[in-house]
A and B are shown apart, each in its own frame.
Chain A
Amino acid sequence: MLVVTVIILSVISLFIGAIDIKPSDLLDWESLETQIFLISRLPRLFAIILAGAGMGIAGLIMQSLSRNKFVSPTTAGTLDAAKLGIIISMLFFSGMSYIGQIMFSFAFALIGSFIFMQLLERIKFKDAIFVPLIGIMYGNIIGAFSTFLAYEANILQNVDSFFQGSFTLVVSGRYELLYVAVPAIIIAYIYANKFTVAGLGEDFAKNLGLSYRTVLNIGLIIVAVISTTVVLTVGIIPFLGLIVPNLVSLYLGDNLRKTIPHTIFMGAAFLLFCDIISRLIVHPYEIPVNTTVAVIGSAIFLIMLFRGKAYAQK
Chain B
Amino acid sequence: MIELKGLSKSFGKKTVVENVTLKIQSGAITSFIGPNGAGKSTLLSMVSRLLDADTGEVLLDQSDVKKMKSDAFSKRVAILKQANHLNVRLTVRELVSFGRYPYSKGRLNEEDNQFVDKALAYLNLTDMQDKFLDELSGGQKQRAFISMVIAQDTEYILLDEPLNNLDMKHSVQIMKILRKLVDELGKTVVIVLHDINFASVYSDRIVALKDGRLVKDGPTNEIINSESLREVYDMHIPVQVQDGCRICVYFNSHN
A residues with a Cβ closer than 8 A to B are: 67-69, 128, 192-194, 196-197, 199-201, 203-204, 206-211, 249, 253-255, 257, 311-314
Contact = CB atoms under 8 A, between A and B. Distances in A.
Q: Which of B79, B94, B98 has the most CB of A within 10 A?
A: B98
Given A201-B86, A207-B50, A193 B79 contact: no
Interface stretch (B10-18, B66-74, B224-232): B66-74
A196 B98 contact: yes
Contact of A211 (B70, B84, B85, B132): B70
A144 to B, nearest CB: 32
A200 B86 contact: yes
A249 B86 contact: no
Interface stretch (B57-65, B100-108, B188-196): B100-108
Contact of B101 (A69, A203, A208, A255): A208
B31 interface: no
Interface centre among A67, A199, A208, A254 (most CB of B within 10 A): A208
A252 B70 CA distance: 31
A69 B87 contact: yes
A312 B98 CA distance: 22
B118 interface: no
B101 A209 contact: yes
B48 interface: yes
Interface residues of B, number: 33
Instruction: Kindly name the residue among A193, A203, A204, A312 whose own CB sees the greatest number of chain B CB atoms within 10 A.
Output: A204
B87 A312 contact: yes
B78 interface: yes
B98 A208 contact: yes
B90 A208 contact: no
Contact of A254 (B71, B80, B88): B88
A246 B114 CA distance: 32
B105 A193 contact: yes
A207 B132 CA distance: 22
Contacts of A209: 70-75, 101-102
A225 B132 CA distance: 32
A197 B98 contact: yes
Nearest to B74: A209
17 contacts: A69-B87, A128-B87, A196-B90, A200-B86, A200-B88, A201-B84, A203-B84, A207-B74, A207-B80, A208-B74, A209-B101, A210-B101, A211-B70, A253-B89, A254-B89, A255-B90, A313-B87
